[in-house]
Amino acid sequence: MRLMPYGVGVALLGLLALPAPSSSAAAADSAPAHARYRHTAADISRFLTSFYGDHGPTDHDRSQRISQHLKDRQALSLGLDILLCARQEPQAIAVGPVTVAQSANVGWATVTTLWDEGTTDTFTAYVRLDSHPITLDDVICAG
């Protein structure tokens, strides 16, 4: 039988005496970042309602609360506001119910804009469930 040197044996005994980490703490530490931040439909609804406000996002929202993908699209657009799918400011904006697809890691809602002449337009706004802080990830115009 081979004996361990004293120092190694003591170190092993010390490790065995430590309490095991709780499974929830271990899971939180080992969970990927996308699992730590999972926005709910209510979170996304509050965000989109705040982001769009009554007439569209503020300059701060446009610079700080959208994805790089949208910033790049906006830079390439010629006079079209990508975030509103329009060329001007609407009279009013309403955010519809939010749908969340956990498996796709995304939530979305239909946004309706009201215009001077009484017409409406719609587009879909998308938020990644794992964005931190929460940001607008994409916008798909209806027509």
**134 burial class (0-12, 13-18, 19+ CB within 10 angstroms)?**
buried
Is residue 30 included in any domain, yes or no? no
Does the pTM surpass 0.95? The reply is: no
The 10s digit of each residue's pLDDT in 26-49 is 444 455 554 566 999 999 999 999
Name the more confident of 79 and 99. Answer: 99
Percent of the chain clearing pLDDT 70 (strictly above): 73
Q: Give the span between the Cα atoms of 5 and 128, in whole angstroms.
A: 54
Mean pLDDT to the nearest integer, 83-110? 96
Is residue 8 included in any domain, yes or no? no
Q: Record the tokens describing residue 57, joined without a space.
A: 């996002």
Domain of 96, CATH number, reads: 3.10.450
pLDDT at 7 exceeding the cut of 50: no
Is residue 102 included in any domain, yes or no? yes
Instruction: Tell me the one-letter amino acid at 97.
Output: P
Is residue 116 included in any domain, yes or no? yes
Q: Record the tokens describing residue 135, joined without a space.
A: 């940001």
| Residue range(s) defining the domain that contains residue 71 | 36-141
pLDDT band at 135 (very low <50, low <70, confident <90, very high): very high
